[in-house]
Amino acid sequence: MSGNHPHDRSLSEMDVRVRALETLLVDKGLVDPAALDLLIETYEHRVGPHNGARVVARAWRDPAYRDWLAQDATAAIASLGYTGRQGEHMVALFNAPGVHHLVVCTLCSCYPWPVLGLPPAWYKSPAYRSRAVIDPKGVLTEFGVTLPETTEVRVYDSTAELRYLVIPEQPAGTQGWDEDRLASIVSRDAMIGTGLLKEAA
Amino acid sequence: MNGPHDLGGAQGFGPIALEADEPRFHAPWERRAFALTVAMGASGAWNLDQARSARESLPPALYLSSGYYQIWFEALERLLAERVLTGPGQSPAPGLRVLQADAVGAVLARGGPTEREPGGPARFAVGDAVCTRLMNPSGHTRLPRYIRGRCGRIEALRGVHVYPDTHAAGQGEQACWLYTVRFEAAGLWGPDTTAASVHVDCWEPYLEPAPR
């Protein structure tokens, strides 16, 4: 019978294995189920790319903040309240005319959690991790992004505990926008380097 | 190790599977596997480099056919069996911390910084020409295969950081200088690349001065 049948309530093999392990660890007193719930709640609903979008918007509006971000991204980002796990050591990469940055972790799934949340599945996939360092323009095409022929792509492979955040160029015509409106056009993928900015709402 | 995780430059994995409005988790078990991994990571039973080492030591066919939360889970089972549930009747090893709900916020906010006070001056300066060592350690390393034995220039000094190669092996932090090194893409791949440059974070033991 198909596992997708609507009346089929059986659990998948992974459901069974994970439940079994959780039960074992709770029984042994090694995990607090309420802590698990809170971890899930935090990363499913609270932390996400809206945080990184605030960083980008501030950098666009405030030259002093931009300079701080370039000098000490960890401190500049912490000043907005985004700190901690998988963002302990931050580096900002500034796109410029003719220069585009793309971030990957070829060895695993390193990603700046405090500013972007948990990585999307594609970021952790062999398809992305293998090709980003050799054919970034081909990768970008799959994301619907075509850069000018002369634009150079600099790929950052996150092999250490530094976590990279791409700061896209501020689009023409958005000078004078307030921070909320600027943040609303900053997409997750633009901060990884695989995407463009969103259309203004 | 030259495991299935070391994917930079590999070919044949096909198009990238993009998903509009992708959910954070794709199945209920992914939520629990994620949270169990983070919670047990705070127990002190192993460090982050040992967790990475366990993931990349999975059988290659299993690694490459699993989604990432399954990779985490497979490694978690192995780490628990090797390091935690080791007593009679799988009784836990003593001295482990239990992450309680009221500590989650503080633990996440603190994270696990890896920067340490320098014990000495950096060997290299920005702009120095360096080459990575040609090496194939059987244990954990963060020097990807595609960059071994290649030459580039120091782009930035990033401070002194815990050295994953020894940390994963239970030989202590042995913190050393960390650098971002810029490699010209054509020097890595020849003409078959659309990158201009590839920038890799390298610990000092991975590097030696470029031959003159």
Query: pLDDT digits over B28-43, tens only?
Result: 999 999 999 999 999 9
Q: In chain B, which among 116-135 make CB contacts under 8 A with chain A?
A: none
Label residue B113 by pLDDT band (50, 70, 90).
very high
**Known catalytic membership, residue A109:** yes
Query: pLDDT digits over A46-61, tens only?
Result: 999 999 999 999 999 9
Distance (Å, rounded) from C-alpha A192 to C-alpha A104? 8
The answer to whether A80 contacts chain B (CB < 8 Å) is no
> Across residues A167-186, what is the average pLDDT?
96
Average pLDDT of chain B, as a whole number: 96
SS3 content of chain B, % helix, strand, coil (to 5): 35, 15, 50
Handedness of CA B80, B84, B88, B89 (dihedral sign): negative
Question: Residues of chain A with pLDDT > 70: what percent?
Answer: 95
Q: How far is B100 from chain A (nearest CA, A)?
A: 6
Query: pLDDT digits over A111-156, tens only?
Result: 999 999 999 999 999 999 999 999 999 999 999 999 999 999 999 9
Q: Say yes or no to pLDDT of A157 above 50.
A: yes
Judging contacts by C-beta atoms under 8 Å, the chain B residues touching residue A28 are: 85, 90-92
Task: Give the closest residue to A100 by CA, choosing from A24, A30, A156.
Answer: A156
Q: Cβ contact (<8 Å) for A142 and B18?
A: yes
Task: Give the closest residue to A120 by CA, choosing from A167, A129, A200, B29.
Answer: A129
CB neighbourhood size of A67 (10 A): 12
Query: pLDDT digits over B128-154, tens only?
Result: 999 999 999 999 999 999 999 999 999
Label residue A2 by pLDDT band (50, 70, 90).
very low
Average pLDDT of chain A, as a whole number: 94
Query: pLDDT digits over B53-109, tens only?
Result: 999 999 999 999 999 999 999 999 999 999 998 878 888 888 899 999 999 999 999
Q: How far is B6 from chain A (nearest CA, A)?
A: 5
Label residue A3 by pLDDT band (50, 70, 90).
very low
Distance (Å, rounded) from C-alpha A154 to C-alpha B103? 39
Residues B157 and B179 sit within 8 Å (Cβ to Cβ) = yes
Q: Looking at the partner chain, which of A18, A143, A154 has a beta carbon nearest the beta carbon of B199? A: A154
Residues B149 and B208 sit within 8 Å (Cβ to Cβ) = no
Q: Which of B52, B53, B100, B201 to mutate to test the interface with A (most CBs of A within 10 A)?
A: B201
How many A/B residue pairs have CB atoms within 8 Å? 256
| Residue recorded with tokens 């970008």 | A140
Q: Strand A162-167 vs strand A89-94: parallel, antiparallel, or unpaired?
A: parallel
Residues B180 and A93 sit within 8 Å (Cβ to Cβ) = no
CB neighbourhood size of B207 (10 A): 22
Task: Give the closest residue to B5 by CA, choosing from B168, B193, B129.
Answer: B168
The answer to whether B82 contacts chain A (CB < 8 Å) is no
Residues B137 and B148 sit within 8 Å (Cβ to Cβ) = no
